């Protein structure tokens, strides 16, 4: 990702709902409502133990053809572009973004626009920042670590 000049971070929302439950697993999701009705999930609900892993596997599979410029991590997609083959970085970036949006539309994946970052020189990735120069730590995280008190004995060190 470093070496690119334009970045986007796309945060997916409600990601479990496009995943259909296996027919044999639907009865395992049954809950009884206060009115006595039985409710069974036909799509993957949030809260199942394997839901995050299943969702990550689905997103990775969907974006596999685009992984050269759009790696993903659970509900985050990181798009990065640079000039290539006589096209400007902006042209390449728009082409990349269009391909990602097409895959999202085909697979009913939706973005949380409040958490997305588009056309930026730097994006947050897993507690760090990535830009054309490489990776740097988040200054807020560094300052909070630096403000920790220095342990004075073994007991304080273990805490």
CA distance 66 to 21: 26
Q: Give pLDDT, residue 79.
A: 98
Pair of tokens at residue 88: 């400007």
pLDDT in tens, the chain (159 residues): 888 999 999 999 988 888 999 999 999 999 999 999 999 999 998 888 888 999 999 999 999 999 999 999 999 999 999 999 999 999 999 999 999 999 999 999 999 999 999 999 999 999 899 999 999 999 888 888 888 888 899 998 888
Phi/psi at 139 (nearest 5 deg)?
A: -60, -35
Q: Give pLDDT, residue 146.
A: 87
Q: Give pLDDT, residue 62.
A: 96
Distance between terminal CA atoms of the chain?
37
pTM: 0.83
Residues pairing with 81 in the sheet: 6
3-state secondary structure of 20: strand
DSSP summary character for residue 123? E
Over the range 34-72, which residues count as b (16 or more CB within 10 Å of their CB) and which as e? eeeeeeebeebeeebeeeeeebeebbeebbeebeebbbb
Domains, the chain, ordered by start: 6-158 (3.30.70.270)
CA distance 66 to 104: 12
Q: Kindly report, residue by residue over 8-50, the tens digit of the pLDDT.
A: 999 999 888 889 999 999 999 999 999 999 999 999 988 888 8
Q: Give pLDDT, residue 71.
A: 97
């Amino acid at each position: 990702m470093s070496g690119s000049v334009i970045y986007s971070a796309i945060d997916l929302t409600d990601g479990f709902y496009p995943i259909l439950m296996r027919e044999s697993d639907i009865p395992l999701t049954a809950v009884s409502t206060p009115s006595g009705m039985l409710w069974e999930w036909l799509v993957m609900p949030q809260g199942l133990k394997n839901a995050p892993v299943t969702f990550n596997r689905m997103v990775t599979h969907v974006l596999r053809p685009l992984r050269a410029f759009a790696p993903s991590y659970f509900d985050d997609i990181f798009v990065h572009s640079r000039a290539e083959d006589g096209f400007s970085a902006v042209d390449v970036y728009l082409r990349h973004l269009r391909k990602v949006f097409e895959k999202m539309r085909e697979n009913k994946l939706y973005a949380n626009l409040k958490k997305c970052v588009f056309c930026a020189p730097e994006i947050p990735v897993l507690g760090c920042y990535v830009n054309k120069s490489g990776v740097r730590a988040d200054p807020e995280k560094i300052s909070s670590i630096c403000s920790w008190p220095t342990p004075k004995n073994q007991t304080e060190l273990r805490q």
